[in-house]
Each structure stands twice: as structure tokens, then as C-alpha cells.
Amino acid sequence: MIELIGRSFREALEGLGSAGRMCLEAGRSARDVRTWAPLATDQMRRLGVGSLPIGVLIAAFTGIVLALLASYSFTNSVPRYLVGTLVQKTVMMELAPVLTGLALAGRVGANIAAELGTMRVTEQVDALETLAYDPIAYLVVPRILAGLLMFPIVVGVAMMVGLGAGWLASMGLLDLSSAQFLKGARLFFDDFDVRYGLVKAASFGVAVTAVGCACGLEARGGAEGVGAAATKAVVTSAVLILVLDAFWAVVWLLGRAV
């Protein structure tokens, strides 16, 4: 039992260390623009645009459920228009970034880890090095860049879709007028809500892609190793998303509250 705990802790530290090292190397390799720039657009489309449907779907259902949940929770002493406030704040600041991030951790993180893991076990990465390509600049930088830029896009769209779904659900299912919902949504709206969600999404994107790349490039032992790398990438990314979520809340929200 104790050994298990120690091993888990060591592996987690190793994962974080390799991801951090990967980020540092990616930062250094980012200067090699000619290597990663032609690939960045493709990665952004694959990781970002390809993830829009899942992000939109999650956000739509989240907005609907939040509106129903708010209506269920509020008693007669709470004005109905606060349904809009709850949906706006919760979707924009928390649920859209975190749920979309978790979904993309499964989709994007596993995809990157499996792809790079396969390249590693089939020695394609070694071939790149042989051809004088920097594998970090060629494989990692475009993906991290795609995660950094496209996660906020996906999460931003998810925010708006979630808010719209909550709005429609309030009008269609809760007998709440459009004006009432908008009054609540506007009541405590601040630009900061959007900035906070997008910055969190960007950090999630970097974490998911960096962990996916690190796990993929460290894959060993064939198909089994590739599967293990994909699993490890998803789990580590999910944990990192939650840790980063708490980090931003403590650093940014707590500072504003004080």
C-alpha cells in the first residue's frame, strides 16, 4: 500500500517533470518557425475545429441543465431572473472551460499521445532526428500552439452556446420571459467573466497538449505502450485541468474578491 502510494507520487512527479521539460524544449524550439508554422494550421483545425461539436454539445446540455437546476433551487423568495445570473456566471466562468477542457483532454490528449506514441514505437521520431528535424519543433510546438490558441476558441463558443441554451430553456421550459433572463444575465455580467474563462481555457489547452506530447514521446513497447501512454495522458490531463482550475480561482478570483 505504502509502496503504491510512493510509486504513484513518483510517477506523477515524473509526468509533471517531463511535461515541464517538454514545455521548456517547446519554448526553445518555437524559434524554429519554419519547421512548425506549416503544421500549425493543420493541428489547429484538427484539435480546435474538430473539437467544436463536442464542446458545443456539452455546453448546450450544460446550459439547459443549469437553467432547470437554478429554477428548481430558487424558492419563492428569490427572483426568477436570477436564473439568468446563475447560468451566465456558472457557464462562463466554470462549467464551459472545465467541462470542455475535460472533454478535450479525452479527445485531444489521447489523440496526441496515441499519435506520438505510435511514431515513437515505430521509430518515426528517430527518423525525424536522423533527417535533422527537431522532433519537438516538428511534433510538439504545433500541437501546444494549437492547444493554446484553439482551446479558448472552443471554450468561447461553448460559453455562448451554453448561455443561449440556458436562455432558450428558461423561455421554453421555465415560463421565464426573455427580458427576465436577460436582466439576470446582465445584472452581474462583467468582461472579466469572459477573460477569466478564456485564460483558463488557454492554460488547459497548453496542459492537455503538453501532457499528451510528453506521454506520447515517452511511449515504449509497442501497441500496449501506446495504449498506456494514451490512458496516462488522459488521466494526467484531467487532473491537471482540475488543479489549474483551482489555481486560477485562488490566484485570480481570490485576489479580486479581496
Partner 1 sequence: MKRRSNDFVLGAVILGAIVLIVGVSMFLRESEIGSKRQRVVARFSDVGQVQVGNAVVIRGVKAGRVEAIELGDDGWVLVRLNLEKSVELPRSPVVLLGASSLFGEWQAMVTERQSVPNNREVAAALTASATGAGTALPGAVLPDVAQLTTVAGGIAGDVASVAQRFQVAFNDSAARELRSSIRSVAQLSAELARTVRVQSKHLDTVSVDVRAGAADLSQAAEAFLRTVSRIDSATSAGEVRTIVSESERAAGQVREASVRLNQITQSLEKTESHLRGVMARADSVLLKVDQGQGTLGLLVNDPRLYQNTDSLLRELRALLADVKKQPKRYFGVKIF
- Residues in contact with partner 1 by CB under 8 A are 38, 41-42, 44-45, 48-49, 52, 79, 82, 88, 149, 153-154, 156-157, 159-160, 163, 182, 185-191, 194, 198
**Nearest distance, CB of residue 186 and partner 1, angstroms:** 5
Number of CB atoms found within 10 A of residue 95's CB: 22
Residue 254 and residue 247: Cα distance in Å, rounded?
A: 10
Tell me which residue of 131, 120, 145, 114 sits closest to 38, measured CA to CA.
145
**Nearest distance, CB of residue 17 and partner 1, angstroms:** 33
- Total residues found in the chain within this entry: 258
Which C-beta is closer to partner 1: that of 89 or that of 120?
A: 89
Which C-beta is closer to partner 1: that of 49 or that of 254?
A: 49
**Nearest distance, CB of residue 159 and partner 1, angstroms:** 7
- Beta carbons of 101 and 204 less than 8 angstroms apart: yes
Which C-beta is closer to partner 1: that of 112 or that of 159?
A: 159
Categorise residue 134: left if φ over 0, alpha if ψ from -120 to 50, beta otherwise.
beta
CA distances from 118 to 113, 144, 147, 211 (A): 8, 18, 20, 16
Which C-beta is closer to partner 1: that of 101 or that of 156?
A: 156
Q: How many angstroms from the chain centroid is the CA of residue 187?
A: 28
Which C-beta is closer to partner 1: that of 109 or that of 162?
A: 162
**Nearest distance, CB of residue 73 and partner 1, angstroms:** 15
Residue 102 and residue 236: Cα distance in Å, rounded?
A: 11
Tell me which residue of 90, 109, 254 sits closest to 188, measured CA to CA.
90
**Nearest distance, CB of residue 179 and partner 1, angstroms:** 13
**Nearest distance, CB of residue 173 and partner 1, angstroms:** 21
Which C-beta is closer to partner 1: that of 71 or that of 88?
A: 88
Q: C-alpha cell of 244?
A: 489549474
